[in-house]
Amino acid sequence: MNAKDMTNAGDATEASPAVEFYHADNYFAETSVGHLMKKIVAYSSHAIEREMEPYGLTNAQWVPLVKLFVGDADTAAGLARECGLDAGAMTRLLDRVEAKGLCSRQRSSHDRRVVKLQLTEEGREAAQKIPVVLARIQNACLAGFTHEEWETLKGYMHRILDNAQALAAAGESNEKQQDPQD
């Protein structure tokens, strides 16, 4: 079974009963999938930040920079959504990135209420270095894996992500049903 099949196989789990892998009487956080994923992110984030330091970028700063570079967003509100930050935090972060000369704000000529973000030449140069660092760190984390294992792992991770997104959506739906004022 390839990674795509495993991702699609996750759709079939909705019809079958859920297997309970964890139970309160024998639950240990340090061996849970969520805890392990969180530790992986923490260690890799630390390594990425260490490698971004010579470029003067923190984890908080390189993420929106690369999202601007690849075109995922071009406004502060769009970047806030993409990065999972509130608008105020994103504005403060962009103030720091702009102060470093990596991006600029331009009021839209079509809609004066909209402020577009653009990378400066220095920002584009910095953003081009980010994928190199990310690839190096992720490859180091995947040392010893075969290509097939890597594809399989990605399939499993997509399935966990799909399940987590469904869980979040169900929670949001329940909140809206409980608060009919929305």
Distance between CA atoms of residues 31 and 38, nearest Å: 11
pLDDT(173) > 80: no
Q: pLDDT tier at 108 (50, 70, 90 boundaries)?
A: confident
The CATH number that applies at residue 111 is 1.10.10.10
Mean pLDDT, range 32-44, rounded to an integer: 95
Domain tally for the chain? Answer: 1
pLDDT(41) > 50: yes
Q: What is the pLDDT of residue 178?
A: 72
pLDDT(63) > 80: yes
Comparing 4-8, 21-25, 89-93, 128-132, the range with the smallest average pLDDT is: 4-8
3-state secondary structure of 119: strand
Beta strands in 71-144 (DSSP E): 103-107, 115-119
Residue 23 lies in a domain: no
pTM of the model: 0.75
Residue 40 lies in a domain: yes
Residue range of the domain that includes 57: 3-14+32-172
